[in-house]
Amino acid sequence: MSYFSRDCKVIAENALTDLDVFKNVGSLVLLSIRQPWIVMPQQMADVWDKGRESKYLFGHKRLGFDFIQAHASRLQRLARECKESGDLDSYVLALLECPNLGIVKASFFAQMTVADGACLDSHNLKRLGLAETFFRLPKTLKLDSVHKRIRAYNAVWRTEGDSAYWWNTWCDHLAKQTRNAFDSGAQVSAYHRLALRESPIGI
């Protein structure tokens, strides 16, 4: 079963037309940084209740949240342009303007809003035999070098499979790694539907 078709594509279709869904994607991506996936329902509920004052928007996550709230309309327009042109590199570059987003999470943001991209997080980088720091962006990196790093990142994940491959295999991998938390890859995938404000519990 393709969780990507059931969940990611539906989320992306809604994110392109519904600004609240687009913002929810941003919140989910930011909250997922250095946090276990199983706690996302609790953290998203807190953000919906308290906004930028949520205790889970610590450090630069709050700056990222503020940025997305302020620039969501522009970023959503760029997402639509990316969907039409297929220029994922430029869209990821624009998402990197958001505080606390590196290439990995910017690509995850893209995956959930245009159904293209891949989140090469610590799990996936380990699967590829790459260090967690492999795609880090030093603050001193010049724009041309950032462009090159984005192109290299997209080339790496595309050599292994398309966006659907990375979504489906990550969900299955996480379910196997955390059997006490998730029953299946389908349940892991369903948690992404928090962006639609749907409860994943029990799915």
Query: In tens digits, what is the pLDDT along the chain, a chain of 203 residues?
Result: 589 999 999 999 999 999 999 999 999 999 999 999 999 999 999 999 999 999 999 999 999 999 999 999 999 999 999 999 999 999 999 999 999 999 999 999 999 999 999 999 887 888 787 877 777 777 777 888 888 999 999 999 999 999 999 999 999 999 998 778 898 999 999 999 999 998 776 44
Q: What is the dihedral of CA 89, 94, 100, 102, to 10 degrees?
A: 10
For residue 13, the model assigns a pLDDT of 98
Instruction: Kindly state the tokens that stand for 121.
Output: 């997080």
Please answer whether residues 26 and 68 qualify as being in contact, where contact means their C-beta atoms are separated by less than 8 angstroms: yes
Q: Is the pTM of this model over 0.85?
A: yes
Instruction: Kindly state the tokens that stand for 153.
Output: 């990142």
